[in-house]
A and B are shown apart, each in its own frame.
Chain A
Amino acid sequence: MLPLLIVTATAVVVMLAISIKRSHLLAVWLTLVGLAAAFFSLWVVAPLTPIQVTPLLIVDGYALFYMGLILAATFVTVILAYGYLENQSGYREELYVLILVAALGSTVLVASSHFVSFFLGLEVLSVALYAMTAYLSARKPSLEAGLKYLVLAAASAAFLLFGMALVYAQLGTMQFGQMAAMLSGGACYSKTLLLPGIALIITGIGFKLAVVPFHMWTPDVYEGAPAPVTAFIATVSKGAMVALLLRYFYETGLQHLGSVFLVFSIIAIASMIAGNLLALLQNNVKRILAYSSIAHLGYVLVAFLAGGTRAAAAVTFYLVAYFITTLGAFGVVSVLSNGERDADAIDDYRGLFWRRPVLAGIFTLMLLSLAGIPLTAGFVGKFFLVAAGASSALWGLIFTLIVTSVVGLFYYLRILVALYASPAETGEAAPAVLPALSRSTSYVLAALSVLLVWIGVYPAPILDAVQRAVSTLRLF
């Protein structure tokens, strides 16, 4: 419980600090200190795990690992937001309170073992995200994105609630552990309420994961939201939901049900195909990254379907690589953005290598990792995903993964080509490039790149950590 308490306390402290003295730097420092404290408290809590805190939350190794991941990602997002917001006018400090609240919601999600905490965590996360998305309300795209997200997320939350109610009506319990006991008991119960309930829950989860056909909000929200917020949505909110997905379905063994397996397979294949194909048509870097993240979640679902500890480890490892890559990519986008608009057109990147080689190099590394090229963490992650799928002989899914990966190369290469376009072709000087690169952001981006390559070349330590964390997960 300690990490959660610390995050909550930090949010309150920052809020009070804003009312006492409005200072951007102070707010950021308080947030970072609070997040760091929460991160280190994970090690304090670790020897005491697993603890069931009320029927709602279970703090085991798995939850702690994901909490660490979320807190680290939030830390990076805050630093990116600091550099980004320095150029903005208006109220800047409240964003950090919102980020902390969103982080809190996510950490509750990964530790949840009950429908109530599932919903609570989800809503806390979502409401904070609505406000974060529309934060720069002076910009029309931001406001539009925030409203779209609000309406669609609220609708999906309603579906989720309905599904939970149906499952509760059938099984009489909302706790994951008890559900698992009931389903394995072998008692003949009718599936009339269970299956529709699961279907509706999948709808709610699918929305948060941004998989097809629940993905329509993704490109618009990613494009409209400020770049650091997009980074947060793309990593933390998806990662937390994946953690919950794994825990819920593996613990209750629901994914072995024929119809559930079929539904997830269709979702995975559709996401991989639609995500990669639709990205081909885009010219906006943020939208390309949005569609590619839809495809990546499709890949993750392939491993999820494989089932077992190996698959859970593959998914978690892939998420680690995905977090680093996405934070890096959106970090570059936010670094290049200025006060009026984000740097999201491909033309903003044309010839970037000749003007700012290190930044272009970092972006290249991130793109190569998304494409799954060796030397990057993305390659190792993709390798493990394919290995998990192959060990369960999911050949159709693996072939789709591979073919769509190659399709995905098209648009990554398109951005790469633009990055390295020679100066003669660039025409007039590139527009709207940020004045100064704040020191902290550059350190963060450099650290992310180093981490990316290190994990790509020597993944063994992280792999062991992931394996240890996943072994605490209760399987059906």
Chain B
Amino acid sequence: MILVWLIVILLVAGVLAGVAGRVNTLWPRVISLVAVSIDFVLSLILWSENSSRVQLFPQRKWIEQVDWTWIPRFGIRFHLAMDGLSLLLIVLTFLLGIMAVLISWKEIQKGVGFFHFNLMWILAGILGVFLAVDLFLFYFAWELMLVPMYFLIAIWGHERRIYAAVKFFLFTQLSGLLMLISILTLYFTHHRETGVYSFEYKDLLGTVLTPHTAMLVMLGFFVAFAVKLPMFPFHTWLPDAHTEAPTAGSVILAGLLLKTGAYGMLRFVVPLFPDAAHAFAPVAMTLAVIGIVYGAVLAFGQTDLKRLVAYTSVSHLGFVLLGIFAWNELALQGAVIGMIAHGISTGALFMLVGGLQERTHTREMDRLKGLWATVPVMSGTVLFFALASIGLPGLGDFVGEFLTLLGTYRVSIGLTVVAAIGILISTLYALKVIQRAFHGPNANEWSIPDLGARELLIMIPMMLILLWLGLYPQPVLRTFEPAMHKLQEYAKPHSVLTLNPAVHTLSYNGRLPEIKGK
């Protein structure tokens, strides 16, 4: 039941905030903050309970679940379930939710009630995506994330917001509909085999498809998640959407919405279609590595600060995708830590850039020169998160990238090398940001207020969390472990992966997918 409460609290708070917005502008913010904080505390309680429970019941798949009938005629159930993976992502959701509400405190002045309504309902939709194990419910929540996000960008965004919002909507909707066809194909094939109509994840796991159909159906899912992730070449919506969204929108977009794509890959693409996914893995990993380098190079070329941060998301999530399709223990752990760390570090960067934009009304790095003199605390914070973003050891992103590269090394040395080069390029853009915008003489004579108490309240915990992730990620990894083993188990039945260390190839039932290290 607690899963339902987590969602319902958000939905109700959204409606209340929407109505309270008519009364005054403070009430919606307070209501939203209280609601997300309650949810955050609940999720932390779940986490701490879980660590003791998992020792006692290692066989149990789900930590919590809720399973109700919904549309029995079609075999659709309202089935929410949480395991270690979703638990981690849910805690991240609420954390970033709190930060998003706090950061909009001064920024949003028009239509405050409706803004918080949309914010709460986006979070509820994201929660639905992370918790749903009935594919109809999953699709429902997937589409539900779209509309409030669209409103967030289209109403409270910056100059080219309509273009960005429409592009975002269309990309996601089209890919979502392709996923719908895949879901339905799976559903009807399952019925043909077993005579049972069901959208249940567990039931559909065992569906046997011909290799050709399996590849097509997997691609349907894959495209939907690849657009969200975003993977090169489906990433073109991201720079516009991130740049034009209001700060809270960017934080939720980068921190959470992109993770839904990665989550979908982990939960659905590989376990549901193990053979097709393993056959497709070389392509996916190559595209991921292209994304890493391409995102980094393009980020380096930006003059708009926010757009630069947006491109770094493409780069970072390339690592996550790489880790997922390498599909061994190290890589998967790296992917998950990478997801969480990226959410926090990029979220913080967006918040800082948003704060800068509010103070200076510009995002162009060439105009923002020599800011260190006037806002030393903010500059130091930007430096911290920029270094986190490039994978400085001791911070969370490093752990993610390191583990991912370790895992990928076992699969393909070549790709690992190129990915590492991507890290090198990321150093370039991060230091470019610091040098252009913060170091140097204060040519334009900026004199702006430094980080206030509210902003420090956001930044300091995020810095501490990144440090914690970087220095002691073990609790997070421990939570993910049972979920990871279960996922690996699902992805195994049709084939056996063997490691051939002598030639560093992925050998698979005698059919080599042709990735050879040099």
* Mask of A392-428 contacts with B, CB within 8 angstroms, 1/0: 0000001100110110011001001100101000000
A420-B181 in contact (CB<8A): no
Known: A409-B169, A464-B73. A390 touches B144 (CB 8 A): no
B174-A406 in contact (CB<8A): yes
CB nearest to A413 among chain B residues: B166
Known: A373-B143, A410-B170, A420-B151. A460 touches B71 (CB 8 A): yes
Distance in Å from the Cβ of A424 to the closest Cβ of chain B? 10
* Mask of B132-148 contacts with A, CB within 8 angstroms, 1/0: 00001001110110110
| Residue B449 at the chain A interface, CB threshold 8 Å | no
**Residues of chain B with a CB closer than 8 A to A353's CB:** 114
| Residue A55 at the chain B interface, CB threshold 8 Å | no
A413 and B170 alpha carbons, distance in the complex (Å): 10
B181-A374 in contact (CB<8A): no
**Residues of chain B with a CB closer than 8 A to A406's CB:** 170, 173-174, 177
Distance in Å from the Cβ of B203 to the closest Cβ of chain A? 17
| Residue B465 at the chain A interface, CB threshold 8 Å | no
A405 and B176 alpha carbons, distance in the complex (Å): 12
Our pick among B70, B146, B162 for the contact of A460 (Cβ within 8 Å) is B70
A467 and B74 alpha carbons, distance in the complex (Å): 12
| Residue B185 at the chain A interface, CB threshold 8 Å | yes
B162-A402 in contact (CB<8A): no
A386-B71 in contact (CB<8A): no
**Residues of chain B with a CB closer than 8 A to A402's CB:** 174, 177-178, 180-181
B177-A391 in contact (CB<8A): no
| Residue A50 at the chain B interface, CB threshold 8 Å | no
| Residue B188 at the chain A interface, CB threshold 8 Å | yes
Our pick among A403, A409, A410, A459 for the contact of B71 (Cβ within 8 Å) is A459
A422-B144 in contact (CB<8A): no
Known: A386-B180, A390-B184, A422-B110. A413 touches B143 (CB 8 A): no
* Mask of B186-199 contacts with A, CB within 8 angstroms, 1/0: 01100000000000
**Residues of chain A with a CB closer than 8 A to B114's CB:** 353, 357
Interface residues of A in 347-393 (CB under 8 A from B): 353-354, 357, 368, 373-375, 379, 383, 386-387, 390-391
A374-B140 in contact (CB<8A): yes
A442 and B445 alpha carbons, distance in the complex (Å): 57
**Residues of chain A with a CB closer than 8 A to B173's CB:** 406, 409
| Residue B58 at the chain A interface, CB threshold 8 Å | no
**Residues of chain A with a CB closer than 8 A to B72's CB:** 460
Interface residues of B in 155-212 (CB under 8 A from A): 155, 162, 165-166, 169-170, 173-174, 177-178, 180-181, 184-185, 187-188
**Residues of chain B with a CB closer than 8 A to A410's CB:** 166, 170
| Residue A30 at the chain B interface, CB threshold 8 Å | no
**Residues of chain A with a CB closer than 8 A to B151's CB:** 420
B147-A420 in contact (CB<8A): no
A417-B154 in contact (CB<8A): yes
Known: A368-B147, A460-B72. A386 touches B170 (CB 8 A): no
A460 and B111 alpha carbons, distance in the complex (Å): 36
A379 and B146 alpha carbons, distance in the complex (Å): 14
| Residue A18 at the chain B interface, CB threshold 8 Å | no
The SS class assigned to the A binding surface is: helix
B73-A390 in contact (CB<8A): no
**Residues of chain A with a CB closer than 8 A to B147's CB:** 368, 373
Distance in Å from the Cβ of A139 to the closest Cβ of chain B? 34
Our pick among B139, B141, B162 for the contact of A417 (Cβ within 8 Å) is B162
Known: A420-B154, A463-B71. A386 touches B144 (CB 8 A): no
* Mask of B47-75 contacts with A, CB within 8 angstroms, 1/0: 00000000000000000000000111110
CB nearest to B177 among chain A residues: A402
A387-B73 in contact (CB<8A): no
A387-B74 in contact (CB<8A): yes
Distance in Å from the Cβ of B387 to the closest Cβ of chain A? 39
**Residues of chain B with a CB closer than 8 A to A405's CB:** 177
Distance in Å from the Cβ of B139 to the closest Cβ of chain A? 8
Distance in Å from the Cβ of A425 to the closest Cβ of chain B? 11
Interface residues of A in 430-463 (CB under 8 A from B): 458-460, 463
A375-B144 in contact (CB<8A): yes
B144-A374 in contact (CB<8A): yes
A383 and B177 alpha carbons, distance in the complex (Å): 10
**Residues of chain A with a CB closer than 8 A to B146's CB:** 373
A460-B180 in contact (CB<8A): no
A463-B73 in contact (CB<8A): yes
CB nearest to A387 among chain B residues: B184
* Mask of B269-295 contacts with A, CB within 8 angstroms, 1/0: 000000000000000000000000000
**Residues of chain B with a CB closer than 8 A to A373's CB:** 143-144, 146-147
Our pick among A398, A413, A422 for the contact of B181 (Cβ within 8 Å) is A398
Our pick among A357, A413, A422, A458 for the contact of B155 (Cβ within 8 Å) is A422
**Residues of chain B with a CB closer than 8 A to A463's CB:** 71, 73
**Residues of chain B with a CB closer than 8 A to A458's CB:** 70
Distance in Å from the Cβ of B418 to the closest Cβ of chain A? 34
**Residues of chain B with a CB closer than 8 A to A375's CB:** 140, 144
A100 and B5 alpha carbons, distance in the complex (Å): 49
CB nearest to B161 among chain A residues: A417
Interface residues of B in 399-445 (CB under 8 A from A): none
**Residues of chain A with a CB closer than 8 A to B70's CB:** 458, 460
A374 and B143 alpha carbons, distance in the complex (Å): 6
CB nearest to A464 among chain B residues: B73
**Residues of chain B with a CB closer than 8 A to A391's CB:** 188
**Residues of chain B with a CB closer than 8 A to A379's CB:** 140, 143
Distance in Å from the Cβ of A393 to the closest Cβ of chain B? 9
A383 and B181 alpha carbons, distance in the complex (Å): 10
A354 and B180 alpha carbons, distance in the complex (Å): 35
A390 and B151 alpha carbons, distance in the complex (Å): 32
CB nearest to A460 among chain B residues: B71
CB nearest to A467 among chain B residues: B73
CB nearest to A395 among chain B residues: B181
CB nearest to B141 among chain A residues: A374
CB nearest to B121 among chain A residues: A375
**Residues of chain B with a CB closer than 8 A to A399's CB:** 181
Distance in Å from the Cβ of B363 to the closest Cβ of chain A? 21
CB nearest to B125 among chain A residues: A374
Distance in Å from the Cβ of A311 to the closest Cβ of chain B? 14
CB nearest to B162 among chain A residues: A417
Distance in Å from the Cβ of B29 to the closest Cβ of chain A? 19
A390 and B188 alpha carbons, distance in the complex (Å): 8
A375 and B185 alpha carbons, distance in the complex (Å): 23
Interface residues of A in 13-44 (CB under 8 A from B): none
**Residues of chain B with a CB closer than 8 A to A357's CB:** 114
Distance in Å from the Cβ of A449 to the closest Cβ of chain B? 14
Interface residues of A in 172-190 (CB under 8 A from B): none
**Residues of chain A with a CB closer than 8 A to B136's CB:** 383
Distance in Å from the Cβ of A346 to the closest Cβ of chain B? 14
B178-A460 in contact (CB<8A): no
CB nearest to A458 among chain B residues: B70
* Mask of B80-120 contacts with A, CB within 8 angstroms, 1/0: 00000000000000000000000000000011001000000
A sample of 20 cross-chain residue pairs with beta-carbon separation below 8 angstroms, ordered by A number, consists of A374-B140, A374-B141, A375-B140, A375-B144, A379-B143, A386-B180, A386-B181, A390-B184, A402-B180, A405-B177, A406-B170, A409-B169, A410-B166, A413-B169, A417-B154, A422-B110, A459-B71, A460-B72, A460-B73, A467-B73
- Shortest Cβ-Cβ A-B pairs, 6 listed: A402-B177, A390-B184, A374-B143, A374-B140, A406-B174, A460-B71
Instruction: For the A-B complex with A406-B174, A420-B155, A463-B71 known, give 17 more contacts whose Cβ atoms are closer than 8 Å.
Output: A368-B147, A374-B139, A374-B140, A374-B144, A379-B140, A383-B136, A383-B180, A387-B74, A387-B184, A390-B181, A390-B185, A402-B178, A402-B180, A413-B166, A422-B155, A459-B71, A460-B70
